[in-house]
Amino acid sequence: MNEMETDYLIVGGGIAGLSAGIALKNLNKTFVVAESTPEARPAGAGITLAANAMEAYAELGVEDLVRNAGRVLRKVAIEDQKGNALNRVDLRKMSKSRYNLGIHRAALHQALLQAVGVENVLWNKRSKSLKETQAGYTVEFEDGTQIKTKYLIVAEGIHSKLRTYFLPNSEIRYAGYTCWRGIAQTKTQLESSEEAVEIWGSQGRFGYVRVNDEQVYWFATAKFPQQSKEAAAFTLSDIKQRFSVYPKMVRELLAQTSEKSLLWNDIIDLKPIPQFAFGKAVLIGDAAHATTPNMGQGACQAIEDALELQRCLQLNGTVEKQFSEFEKRRKDRSQLIVKRSWSLGKLAESTSPLVVALRNTVLKLVPEKMNLKQMEQILNQPRF
């Protein structure tokens, strides 16, 4: 049996876990990141990191590393299925230095891995059981490895096994719609290469954003029963047919996507939980507050977690008190975003002609100043 000891164990090596690892490295803590996948490998499609995430990465010291792996975005737009603008926000009107970032998940993961140090990551470590000890915790993994740690950071994602040790009744919810994602291999000039676009129409939503000079990430959503066999069997041809009445750019992107890049998953979130901190253990990222992607804040909130963890671990007092302070700072904000995103998804996915007509009319009438103010509430991470 392979046994190890460390001061801090981060279980999960996704965006939350690696970002937390960067925070611990900045503080010269002794830590290990235990990741379930067998090795570092390209995975996933694209992602948009909002300005709050990039500002958090700036304080964590990795903004340039991450930005150089993606594509700077200055605008966010919502259109109807005819291509008419319903809503558009220019982030530069908040601050000339403010931007979002479109990036391939694999490129982001590689940048974070470089920052945290591959020597600090263990692969093929899927958690099996957790035992609380006087000194902290012992985590056993499916490969037989046991790691003893003084402090535990759970970053396993929405399906976290270790979360059930602390919160056995935590509930994962199906949002009522499913999602296909892909990467178009194209140098085709988008209407604006610095703009993230979402199209809200009768067949569902279609969004796209350039993540580098040769790739555009896209997603498509539609209402289906949970774990629908029909949705699971969708091919690119099916998606092309479903969204055939959408703007020309949609058809062009789908035409330049390979079948092997197509990903599918139901949209789910974690019903808000009562607690993040448990003495010498803390939940972060999707293990604590998984949200639907409607506000583009899932990964961003995980990155905010990492920054707040870095801040809290510099406060006076025990680590238990620091973890408790982390919960006070992060729980309300992250769960507000979970709730808002859930509600926004219901509105965006509506197929009722009356609701759609009313929604689109209201979106067109919202003043830009109001849009900017609402966005600032999300992008401005509180300082304590």
Which tokens belong to 100? 């979002």
Contact 54, 333 (CB under 8 A): no
Residue 192 has pLDDT above 80, yes or no: no
Distance of CA 173 to the CA centre of its chain: 17
Give the full edge-to-edge strand order of the sheet including 172-185.
Answer: 85-90, 75-80, 195-201, 204-210, 215-223, 172-185, 263-270
Strand partners, 218: 182, 208
- Integer distance in angstroms from the first to the last C-alpha of the chain? 44
Write down all domains in the chain, each with its CATH number in brackets. Answer: 3-172+269-379 (3.50.50.60)
* pLDDT of amino acid 185: 92
pLDDT category, 191, cuts 50, 70, 90? low
pLDDT category, 39, cuts 50, 70, 90? confident
Residue 368 has pLDDT above 90, yes or no: no
Average pLDDT over residues 118-129: 97
* pLDDT of amino acid 256: 95
Residue type present at position 242: R
Which tokens belong to 339? 């709730």
pLDDT digits (tens, 9 = 90+) for 51-66: 999 999 999 999 999 9
Average pLDDT over residues 308-335: 98
Contact 154, 284 (CB under 8 A): yes
pTM for the model stands at: 0.95
List CB contacts of 331: < 8 A, sequence separation 6 or more: 275, 276, 289
Of 116-130, 157-171, 301-315, 360-374, where does mean pLDDT reach its minimum? 360-374
* pLDDT of amino acid 333: 97
Nearest one of 191, 207, 276, 269 to 243, comparing CA atoms: 207
Which tokens belong to 242? 């479903």
pLDDT digits (tens, 9 = 90+) for 198-226: 999 989 999 999 999 899 999 999 999 99
Residue 115 has pLDDT above 70, yes or no: yes
* pLDDT of amino acid 377: 87
- Sign, CA torsion 237/216/342/335: positive
Extract the runs of DSSP E, i.e. beta strands, from 242-324: 263-270, 277-278, 281-283
| Alpha-carbon span 50 to 167, nearest angstrom | 30
Residue type present at position 223: K
